[in-house]
């Protein structure tokens, strides 16, 4: 069985996250611009920043709700998904553009401070009952 691999996008949320919008199928959609920084490695081991580019990140349903609830402008985002082509009509002219459709989004753990909240596990789930009772 092979390892499932998806494309990955790492950047910064460039604009305020808009409210989720309804889709034709009854789901929700959030679309936001992401700034993608670029760097050049120098012979001395340092890095020189290059001009950043921007892309459109699109999420649907639960991922869209989480993106809206948890992210703000300036947050570092890591997203896994796929690049899709879109042809919106602008003033009657079809223009082709790339969208990154994300199936998973999260903060960069190196640059974001947060607390992970986990549900309490029951003792029988952890198999601690025998350790506590000695049986």
Q: Is 133 left (phi over 0), alpha (psi -120 to 50) or beta?
A: alpha
If one counts the domains in the chain, the total is 1
Q: Are strands 76-86 and 47-60 parallel, antiparallel or unpaired?
A: unpaired
What is this structure's pTM?
0.75
- What pLDDT shows up at residue 128? 56
Closest to 14 measured CA to CA, from 60, 79, 59, 76: 76
The domain spanning residue 75 has which CATH number? 2.40.50.140
Contacts of 80 (CB under 8 A, 6+ apart): 6, 7, 8, 9, 102, 103, 104, 105
pLDDT tens-digit series, residues 11-69: 999 999 999 999 999 999 999 999 999 999 999 999 999 999 999 999 999 999 999 99
Domain for residue 100, yes or no?
A: yes
φ, ψ of residue 68 in degrees (nearest 5): -65, -40
Domain for residue 92, yes or no?
A: yes
Mean pLDDT of 103-126: 80
pLDDT tens-digit series, residues 73-106: 999 999 999 999 887 766 777 778 889 999 999 9
């Amino acid at each position: 069985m092979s390892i499932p691999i998806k494309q990955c996008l790492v950047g910064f949320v460039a604009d305020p996250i808009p409210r989720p919008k309804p889709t034709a199928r009854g789901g929700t959609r959030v679309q936001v611009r992401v700034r993608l920084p670029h760097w050049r490695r120098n012979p001395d081991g340092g890095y020189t920043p290059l001009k950043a580019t921007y892309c459109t990140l699109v999420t649907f349903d639960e991922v869209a709700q989480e993106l809206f609830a948890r992210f703000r402008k300036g947050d570092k985002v890591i997203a896994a998904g796929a690049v899709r082509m879109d042809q919106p009509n602008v003033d009657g002219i079809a223009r082709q553009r790339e969208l990154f459709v994300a199936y998973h989004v999260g903060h960069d753990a190196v640059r974001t401070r947060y607390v992970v909240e986990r549900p309490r596990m029951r003792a029988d789930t952890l198999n601690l009952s025998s350790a506590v009772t000695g049986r």
